[in-house]
Structure 1
């Protein structure tokens, strides 16, 4: 069986948001996961070919003025049309590091994902308020869940 690729496109402008990316990667690389390669691309570095080679994607963003980060918006602006017809049904998940409530950010990303016809594998993870160490645990679980789903051909 060939390896499957889990692409993580996550904006990590701070030490804490970097901890979230690292936790997602650690979860996705759990020793029980055998057939999944997890790969992180910052949104400004991610290109359509990364998405075209992915078997699933986890999006991560900060909440910026009630919206996604400019970097993630840039990723969508560059990659939307090149992947639109080729990656319909791509399993996806999302986490938002929200200083407020994450509602506007979630709504904006869900609208784009609906247009892409990607498939949510779970409700978005919204990490609200002041930083808590448990946020990294939740990000770890998200990475593990998506990678396990791919590894076991659940999605």
Structure 2
């Protein structure tokens, strides 16, 4: 699982118990997972079809930095299925886990499902290349 982004829990993200509101967490998960899927499939024409099991494990409070880990579970002809783990950046404690988030590529005109042309093997190779590019040594000036 790759942890790709972070958010700061702000006062307007809290519920009546002064913890991260579940609806806000779900909004963030959908957005982060969509960005991940868009980058994986290299297309903006994706819609959320399904979000499977969601498990809330521990609260996040104001001031916590939460991070989002994402991974590809499956690739179909028109779809991609991902998982998202939200955890506390400092403690690494799981806040929530969303499994089986399915995005479908759609034709921009007809809005009908359309093939994306990617395979799991291609995405694994693409990810390995991205990681290698991130690990380029800094040049001293």
| Common fold: TM-score over 0.5 | no
TM-score of the superposed pair, with normalisation by structure 2: 0.29
Q: Hey, which of these two has a bigger chunk of strand by percent?
A: 2
Compare relative contact order (CA 8 Å, sep 6+) and give the higher one, 1 or 2: 1
TM-score by length of 1: 0.27
**Bigger helix share:** 1
